[in-house]
Structure 1
Amino acid sequence: MQTEIIISGFGGQGALFAGQLMAYSAMDNQLEVTWFPSYGPEMRGGTASCTVIISDEEIGAPVVGMPTAVIAMNLPSLDKYEPQVKPGGLLVVNASMVNRQALRTDIRSAHIPANEIAERIGDRRLTNMVLLGSLLANLNVLDLKTVEASLRVHTPERHQRLVPLNIQALEEGATYLAA
């Protein structure tokens, strides 16, 4: 089983962190994994994306042509990556930042008001965890509880106070299932 995921958004939205958390969780569960970040020269506001490949066998290359799943955190990411999702794949869209539905009918999609959910929980920076929660609930790659455990283990001590909010965001996102 090999699952290829792209997470994309503006810099500062947490796309890279969401992918890194998945990579840690896969490693914690003795799976093979690659995490390949890509970002523009801007610190915040430019483009940022990462590819995560999770497999129970050795991974040949970190390059993804047709991902199994995409998290599109903004409209430019949706425009770029929707055409690349493998038929039958999953598209998780931040409906707070995107003003259109998915165009493809051969994939499953979940449109989530992630910014609003994150703000209701208490911090807009939780948007990435809301979207990741939905991806995990809709894709048989990593168990939600496994990712929550990895979050606790791999979060630096200075940020441990944020772990409960991140877990709440993951769990709320997991309630949004793809159509």
Structure 2
Amino acid sequence: MKLEVIMAGFGGQGIMLMGEILAHSAMLEGKEVSWIPSYGPEMRGGTANCMVVISDKRIPSPIISSPDVLVAMNKPSMEKFMPTVKKGGLTVLNMDLIDKVLEREDIEKVKVNAIKIADEIGNIKVANMVALGVVVGKTNIVKPETILKSIDYFLPEHRKSMFEINEKAFRRGLELGK
């Protein structure tokens, strides 16, 4: 088992946190993991992406050229990375910031209005957890309970009150992914 994931969007959308939570969860379950962040010229508003590799064997290289899964939280990210997704791969597309999807018939596309769903739940900042829920629901790469442990782990003390809304967003995405 090996899963290569690229998560991408604008800085400030929680792209790195989404990747860290996924990687940490896999690590808690005893899997081999790598996580590589990449920031554009500006942290907020610039581009941000991360690569997460999860495997039951040692990972020879953490660099991903052709991911199994792409999470694109905006149109520039979809345009940059969707052509690289492996045949038979999965894309999770945040349709709130993507007006037209690239044509590819050889991959599965899950279109989700992550920002709208997050807003309905109560805070647009949890759109990343909606997208993460879709990935976990589709791939079953880690257990949902482990993701929730990791969310709690990464929330600083002064943000612990955000756990419940993050959990709701994650579970909503999980439902969409199943």
User: With structure 2 as the length reference, what TM-score do the two structures score?
Assistant: 0.96
- Three-state SS of the structure 1 residue aligned to 2:133 is helix
Task: Choose 13-22 or 168-177, whichever is displaced more.
Answer: 168-177
In structure 2, the residue matched to 1:45 is 45
What is the CA-CA distance between 1:41 and the residue it aligns to?
2.6
1:79 is matched with which residue?
A: 79
Report what 1:129 is aligned to.
Answer: 129
- What is the correspondence of 1:14-93 to structure 2 with a 5 Å cutoff? 14-93=14-93
CA deviation string 1:83-119 (max 9, x = no partner): 1111111000000000113411111110001111011
Q: Which residue of 2 aligns with 1:11?
A: 11
Secondary structure (helix, strand or coil) at the match of 2:6 reads: strand
1:175 aligned counterpart, secondary structure: helix
Using the TM superposition, name which of 150-159 and 125-134 deviates more. Answer: 150-159
Kindly indicate whether the alpha-carbon contact (under 8 Å) linking 2:133 and 2:177 is maintained by their aligned counterparts in 1.
no
Separation in structure 2 between the aligned mates of residue 119 and residue 145 of structure 1, nearest angstrom: 23
What does residue 163 of structure 1 align with?
163
Aligned to 1:117: 117
Q: Cα offset for 1:140?
A: 2.9
The percent of aligned pairs where both chains have the same amino acid is 40
Matched residue count: 178
- State the SS of the aligned residue for 1:34: strand
Letter in 1 for 2:167: I
- One-letter code of the match for 1:19? G
Quote the RMSD (CA, aligned, Å).
Answer: 1.2
Give 5+ residue unaligned stretches, structure 2. Answer: none
Please list every run of 5 or more consecutive structure 1 residues that lacks an aligned counterpart in the other structure. Answer: none
